[in-house]
Amino acid sequence: MSVSGYAQQINVNSLRYTTNPNQNQITFEVTSSPQHQVFVMDNPSRLVIDIKNAQLKHSLNQPLAAHPLFTRVRSGIKNDTDLRVVFDLKTPISLKKLTLSSDNSDDHRLVIDLLDKDSVATTKNEDKEVAKIVASLSLEPKMVETKVVETKAVTVKSTESKRSNRIVIAIDPGHGGDDPGAHGPHGTEEKKVTFEMAKKLEVLINAQPGMKAVMVRKGDYYVGLRDRMKIARTAKADLFVSIHADAFQDSEVKGASVYTLSTSGASSEAARWLADSANASDLVGVSLNDKEDVLASVLLDLSQTATQEASVNVANHVLKSFDNISQLHKDSVQKAGFLVLKSPDIPSILVETAFISNASEEQNLLSNQYQSKVAGAIFKGVLSYFRQSLPDDNRIAAVDL
């Protein structure tokens, strides 16, 4: 192999294992986003990962003896250029019971998840029950009282309509699991403070009649960046809010800022969607199989344009609400190509709540009072946006705010 060809190979630098209830996760640190395949082989039971045009930079960490699924990991070169990694399994994997997924949307990470399907179904059922309880608490008192009278059928219909019309906010606490995010001067991890602020925001949203919060992650574990978008889309979210804490080499830098997706980021995402006509059709709600590529592009562009305009609008509301609680790092909405902001059909913002690299702001981020103020500011901005943007007969506009 020539020197130039070898230089283009992806380096696999390390391997980490994360085990949560009903979930096993493998994370490869890589130098760029790889093409890969993941599959299961039997007799003996193995999980196989083929990474195209890749090489090992260091030997892979072996799983602990107590690991619930893996006994050992080994690797080899396939077709002279590709890397094959094989995990020997303690028990056979049944894809009827496990969901096997992978994510290489982050240029520096390839994540493989094995998730128990039974636990997913249980969680969904629990979420539905919680949603019903929250919805019932959001009803006007007279509507609850009249459920036993002769007009019961009409009342129930009205109740279901109100439930289905709630505004859904997806809350994304940045980082998680083996990705701690930035660290403060005293060792504070970004993933922990973002999760605390996200939980406080969740409470505020769920307490608001006509609104519902969906947490992208519900604990200290890593969720792939595109999986965060998928969770929001599955929940039919009306808005995606990602919560982070900024960091910079200069420890004197401080302040909050709010981001939306850049034009270049939107263009690259559009190309990705248009490459798969089925996905694009699902997005715009029109079959594109019998239509020209240019029409698909126009329809997607219309969807993205509306989404970006809404994103900037809500970001301005949130930024304004920070005036009274925190110094602003940037006094206008910023734009960047953050992957989690790339949903073409869901308005999305990313809030940098403070600079964790600044000692005083690190202490603020650890403060329960400051966390509550940040959550309150985000909620105030979001609520202000929807009060302004929705028609009189829609969703939360129909209830007392």
Per-residue pLDDT of the chain (401 residues; tens, 9 = 90+): 333 344 478 989 888 888 766 677 888 888 888 888 888 888 888 999 999 999 998 888 898 888 888 999 999 998 889 999 999 998 887 766 566 666 666 667 888 888 765 544 444 454 454 444 334 433 333 333 323 333 333 333 333 333 346 899 999 999 999 899 999 999 999 999 999 999 999 999 999 988 999 999 999 999 988 899 889 989 999 999 999 999 988 999 999 999 998 766 555 655 554 445 444 444 444 444 544 455 455 555 555 677 888 899 999 999 999 987 778 998 899 988 788 888 878 999 999 999 999 999 999 999 999 999 999 999 999 999 998 876 544 455 444 43
**Per-residue pLDDT, 119:** 45
Please tell me the predicted confidence (pLDDT) of residue 22: 65
The predicted pLDDT at position 400 comes to 40
Distance between start and end Cα atoms, the chain? 67
Q: How far apart are CA 276 and CA 251, in angstroms?
A: 44
Cβ pair 223, 216 in contact under 8 A: yes
Residues 6 or more apart whose Cβ sits within 8 Å of residue 90: 67, 68, 69, 70, 71
Instruction: State the pLDDT at residue 20.
Output: 67
Amino acid at 77: I
Q: Provide CB contacts within 8 A for 160, sequence distance 6+.
A: none
Question: Distance (Å, rounded) from C-alpha 95 to C-alpha 85?
Answer: 19
- pLDDT reported for residue 309: 87
User: For residue 203, what pLDDT is reported?
Assistant: 94
Any idea which architecture 162-398 has in CATH?
3-Layer(aba) Sandwich (3.40)
Is the distance from CB of 340 to CB of 240 less than 8 angstroms?
yes
Q: Which residues contact 54 (CB under 8 A, 6 or more apart)?
A: 9, 10, 11, 12, 30, 34, 82, 83
CB 52 within 8 A of CB 34: yes
pLDDT of the residue at 387:
87
Residue 180: predicted pLDDT: 92
Q: What is the pLDDT of residue 160?
A: 35
CA–CA distance, 376 with 372 (Å, rounded to integer):
6
CATH number for the domain formed by residue range(s) 3-117: 2.60.40.3500
For the chain, what are the domain ranges? Answer: 3-117, 162-398
> Looking at residue 293, what is its pLDDT?
53
CB burial string 93-125: b at 16+ within 10 A, e below? beeeebeeebbbbbeebbbbbbbbeeeeeeeee
pLDDT of residue 150: 35
pLDDT of residue 390: 63
Residues 6+ apart with CB under 8 A from 155: 143, 146, 147, 149
